[in-house]
Chains A and B, each alone.
Chain A
């Protein structure tokens, strides 16, 4: 297959666009998709101080690489989960990436803090991923607030978001359907804006970009992700995609044109928000859910 722009050998074929691209023109396409996402959803404003949530995986490191190359003021934020070798290796990838590009990475180490995810999960008898989600969310919000970042960027790609939408639709989870936006506005006094600039790119495209541009990431998956429903949704969507190219793209991106407004969340209880007595973040109760989790695990 040849590149549709220059007739060099293609390194990737994008059936949904009915096109093959060489490295140079794939890179151009990739940047165009990010620019379109950022523009359509007004993701960044001048002088933004961007906190990039990084895991050591391909998506977040590619995102950091690109936002930095655009001249944005970026800092990486990594939460080391205390999940054995996986956490060690991924932390190393983040450190090396930051060092190589002369960037700053803020590292929160749960092992050092005395509450690694496996321990929290077993002490509270909860599923590791749900505890993990809650803990990561807390630290991302807290660090962004404490350090004065104006926006938080995450590496969620088209497959992640299509799978999440698919799961939310299957469960008719209207609360989460209302939070699908790739640009979630600030919330209360302490939650910063959250954006997903890779929303138009599939994970295959992100992996290809990392491969072609020598971005060194951890290819292993978190061992806790085995059996995650999101992986089943991705598999199902990829099967559909193979038979009907463009399905994922249409399903996810058209949601915002055709359906998202039906699930908008009404801001009713905002005046009831107070500050958590322990950590100072917004909470509807005296002590926020993260601090209650910590109390329970003690």
Chain B
């Protein structure tokens, strides 16, 4: 399982192992977030191991 820290502070889980599939799994559009693993930005094709924490940062500004 991979843990995903959502921009709103909630936490989700996914059994997928590629960022692109994880985002799809949780219904998150890739254009609307940065994905951070171990403090580094990663691209959607990046593979992650079980137990990894993926942090999502919202990039959408409102108003």
Contacts and interface: CB of A to CB of B under 8 A. Distances in A.
Are A and B subunits of one complex?
Answer: yes
Interface of A: 1, 10-13, 20, 57-59, 129, 132, 159-160, 202-204, 206-208, 211-212, 219, 221-222, 224-226, 228, 230-231, 234-235, 238-239, 241-242
Nearest to A128: B63
Given A207-B57, A239-B29, 8 more contacts: A1-B46, A20-B43, A58-B61, A59-B61, A202-B31, A212-B41, A225-B62, A238-B29
A235 B29 contact: yes
Interface string B20-63: 00000000011111101000111111100000000001111111
Given A221-B62, A224-B63, A231-B60, A242 B42 contact: no
Interface of A is mostly: helix
A228 B62 contact: yes
Contacts, number: 75
22 contacts: A11-B42, A11-B43, A58-B59, A129-B63, A159-B60, A203-B59, A204-B31, A204-B33, A204-B34, A206-B59, A207-B34, A208-B59, A211-B34, A211-B41, A211-B57, A219-B7, A221-B61, A225-B63, A226-B62, A228-B62, A235-B32, A242-B29
Contacts of A160: 61
A231 B62 contact: yes
B32 A238 contact: yes
B34, B43, B44, B59, most chain A CB atoms within 10 A: B59
